[in-house]
Amino acid sequence: MADSSIAITAGSGTNVDTYTVPSGDHRQVVIAGDHGAYAGHAATFRIPGRAGTAGQKLFSIHNATGSSIVVEVHKIVVDLVQTVIKAVTVLPPVIRLWKVTVLPSNGTACTKVSEDSSSTATSSSVTVLQDASADGTSSGTALTATLPAGTIVGEEFAPRLITAAGYEMFDRTEFMSDELESIVLRPLEGLVVFADYVLATQNPVTDMWLVGCRWEEYTP
């Protein structure tokens, strides 16, 4: 049966989405987790590691100061593949999801992909950045972000290749993997995926990272 609506009294009258069953009755339509605005995805290029001692900002999403919308981040996933063996005595980087306030800079913009091309357009207040300009090519200037002390949302050790025997497991890290879990970004708030390490051997340029993100934008 076709979707329809019924009028309710709310000031001058407001429609409620309904579904008409074969008997002719109307049943209200409820769409969980959908605010009726923009819902989008972004995925990075293949990001080479940066062999340094201060870690690497891999990805960021940020809602600008003065923004008229809020951003609800539902999921961030991180994956890593390695072709160079690391000694068992060398710790892998810690993948940390960091909540920030200062707008990240440099890096390369990610392409925003709408879940529904007929929905409201994404807001220009939402900036999504990565640390690669193409697959396997680092951004000309590394993605930079100010990480406030202690504002870590979640963390997990990256996998590590100790020997070349066997196969690369499907070992991606997921933040907000529960459908009921999300992080709301008010104006001047953002999230940064940070590979935290202090030795160049922990994240050589032969390591390759991938990051994906899903979020919604709506008027609070």
Locate 186 and state its tokens: 């008010």
Q: What 3 state SS string does 166-213 have? A: CCCCCCCEEECCCCCCCEEECCCEEEEEEEECCCHHHCCCCCEEEEEE
Q: What is the pLDDT of residues 148-196, one digit of tens each?
A: 999 999 999 999 888 888 777 778 899 987 667 899 999 999 999 999 9
Please tell me whether residues 13 and 90 are part of one structural domain. no
Q: Which amino acid is at 66?
A: G
Answer yes or no: is pLDDT of 53 > 80.
yes
Locate 93 and state its tokens: 């980087």
pLDDT at residue 80, as a whole number: 95
Please tell me whether residues 102 and 161 are part of one structural domain. yes
Please tell me whether residues 15 and 93 are part of one structural domain. no
> What percent of the chain is helix, strand and coil (3-state, nearest 5)?
0, 45, 55
Distance CA(200)–CA(195), nearest Å, equals: 12
pLDDT at residue 26, as a whole number: 79
∠ Cα 144 149 153 (to 5°): 85
Please tell me whether residues 49 and 69 are part of one structural domain. yes
| pTM: predicted TM-score of the whole model, two decimal places | 0.83
Answer yes or no: is pLDDT of 32 > 60.
no
pLDDT at residue 166, as a whole number: 77
List the domain range (segments joined by +) for residue 174: 34-218
Please tell me whether residues 12 and 116 are part of one structural domain. no
Q: Are strands 14-20 and 137-138 parallel, antiparallel or unpaired?
A: unpaired
Locate 33 and state its tokens: 């987790």
State the number of CA atoms in the 13 A half-sphere of 51 facing the CB.
Answer: 7
Please tell me whether residues 22 and 43 are part of one structural domain. no
pLDDT at residue 36, as a whole number: 63
Count up the domains in the chain and report the number: 2
Please tell me whether residues 8 and 78 are part of one structural domain. no
Locate 201 and state its tokens: 């051997």
Please tell me whether residues 16 and 58 are part of one structural domain. no
Please tell me whether residues 24 and 118 are part of one structural domain. no
Answer yes or no: is pLDDT of 65 > 50.
yes
pLDDT at residue 1, as a whole number: 45
Q: Would you say 130 and 107 are in contact if contact means Cβ atoms under 8 Å apart?
A: yes
pLDDT at residue 16, as a whole number: 72
Please tell me whether residues 39 and 21 are part of one structural domain. no
Distance CA(193)–CA(104), nearest Å, equals: 11
Above pLDDT 90, what percent of the chain? 70
pLDDT at residue 211, as a whole number: 98
**What residue ranges in 44-171 does DSSP mark as E strands?**
47-48, 56-63, 70-81, 94-100, 108-109, 113-114, 126-130, 132-134, 137-138, 152-157
Distance CA(158)–CA(171), nearest Å, equals: 9
Locate 162 and state its tokens: 């100790």
Distance CA(209)–CA(45), nearest Å, equals: 8
33 secondary structure, DSSP code: T
Please tell me whether residues 88 and 23 are part of one structural domain. no
Q: State mean pLDDT over 49-60.
A: 97
Please tell me whether residues 110 and 8 are part of one structural domain. no
Q: What is the pLDDT of residues 73-99, one digit of tens each?
A: 999 999 999 999 989 999 999 999 999
Distance CA(146)–CA(106), nearest Å, equals: 12
